[in-house]
Amino acid sequence: MTPQGQPKFQLVNTPEYRESYANSVQIRVNLWDFFLMFGTVNQTSPENVVIHNFQGVYLSPQQAKALLNVLNQNISQYEQTFGEIKLEPHSTGQASAIQ
């Protein structure tokens, strides 16, 4: 009986793969999944903010928690290297939106 090692992972980008910039993430949650909607914020005046959503991604609760852990690790490493990331206060009226 041979011990099983770690599987080899191969990352392959599909033809539909795209990279985009987002400065807005809105999150909806239900019993079965998390839905992350990515977009860009455009503020044309102090009273007018437009968010252009361009991609929505569904994650299982397990994948969402794994993403949280990976983001926490990477943010900690970033802050150790470059300093604390400061968030500007803002009021969006949406508890589960990040802009």
Domain ranges of the chain: 24-84
Residue from 6, 1, 7, 67 nearest 34 by CA: 67
**Tokens 């252009």 -> residue:** 52
Both tokens assigned to 3? 């011990």
Query: At 3, is the pLDDT very low, low, confident or very high (cuts 50, 70, 90)?
Result: low
Better-predicted residue by pLDDT, 59 or 89:
59
Question: Going by C-beta distance under 8 Å and a sequence separation of 6 or more, which residues neighbour residue 8?
Answer: none
pLDDT band at 93 (very low <50, low <70, confident <90, very high): very low
The one-letter amino acid code at 33 reads D
List the structure tokens of 55. Answer: 């991609």
